[in-house]
Amino acid sequence: MNEGTPVRRPGGRSARVRAAVHQAVTDLVGERGYGEFTVGDVAARAGVADTSIYRRWGNLEALLTDVALARLNAQSPMPDTGTLAGDLHAYAAQVAREITGPDGLAVLRLTVALSNRGEQGLKARDEFLAERTEFIQGMLDRAAERGEQPPDVLDVLDHIMAPMYIRVLFGAGPLTPDYIAGLVDRLLAQP
């Protein structure tokens, strides 16, 4: 490397700014709701200049989309317990931890709001759904390779994922371990 070439450090200032801005957005969505804050509010909360946000993201909508995609796509590793039932139980428990964690509800609300806000929001929604579907399909394919009879990926979304998201979004009840296990067991018991 020659002396005139700047050294880029992964995890340096840029990563710290991105993390601070993402957390500020998540906190503001949780406290105030979607559409109830400005770039200036995010910058003040994150301890950065407004210009830093505009330079990196261009506008608030692009920033919100980036936050939603980053948070929703940060999945835990695919469970591999050796059985479909074990994998689905482990995956459902992982998702429940993610969506009931400190930022879970805010990120879900942000994603729902963005999906109604034009092309960037639709792109975020579509990317999230595609990634979740691919992840689940990987578990189902592995089960089929072991000789098990897995359900369709849409059945997993409809019978396990959707009820958990609805409960969290609408405060319709806690995601207890028994409730989550029941969702998986009912799906697997279907003919």
Reported as a single tens digit per residue, the pLDDT across 12-41 is: 778 899 999 999 998 998 898 888 999 999
Tokens describing residue 175: 């995601």
Q: Quick one: pLDDT at residue 41?
A: 95
pLDDT at 69: 77
> What single-letter amino acid sits at 163?
P
**Percent of the chain topping pLDDT 70:** 92
CA angle, residues 148, 150, 156, in degrees to nearest 5: 155
The two three-digit tokens of residue 73, written as one number = 């796509």
User: Which whole number is the average pLDDT over 145-160?
Assistant: 96
Q: Which are the contacts of 9, defined by CB distance < 8 A and separation ≥ 6?
A: none
Q: How many of the other CB atoms lie within 10 Å of CB of 7?
A: 6
Percent of the chain scoring above 90 in pLDDT: 56
Q: What is the pLDDT of residues 165-176, one digit of tens each?
A: 999 999 999 999
- Res 73: pLDDT: 66
Token pair of 190 as six digits: 């279907």
Looking at every residue in the chain, the average pLDDT score rounds to 87
Mean pLDDT of 128-145: 91
158/122: higher pLDDT? 158
6: pLDDT strictly greater than 80: no
Please give the pLDDT value at position 15: 87
DSSP 118-166: SHHHHHHHHHHHHHHHHHHHHHHHHHHHTT-----HHHHIIIIIHHHHH
pLDDT value at 77 more than 90: no
Indicate the residue type of 188. Answer: L
- The average pLDDT across 48-75 equals 85
The answer to whether 64 and 110 are in contact (CB under 8 A) is yes
Quick check: 3 pLDDT over 70?
no
pLDDT for residue 83 is more than 70: yes
Q: What share of the chain is helix, strand, coil (3-state, %, to 5)?
A: 70, 0, 30
Q: What is the pTM of this model?
A: 0.76
Tokens coding 118: 């034009």
How confident is the model at residue 84, as a pLDDT?
Answer: 97
- Delineate the domains of the chain, giving CATH numbers in brackets: 13-70 (1.10.10.60), 72-189 (1.10.357.10)
DSSP state of 49: -
Q: How much is the pLDDT for 7?
A: 47
pLDDT at 1 exceeding the cut of 50: no
143 CB-near residues (< 8 Å, 6+ apart):
83, 84, 87, 150
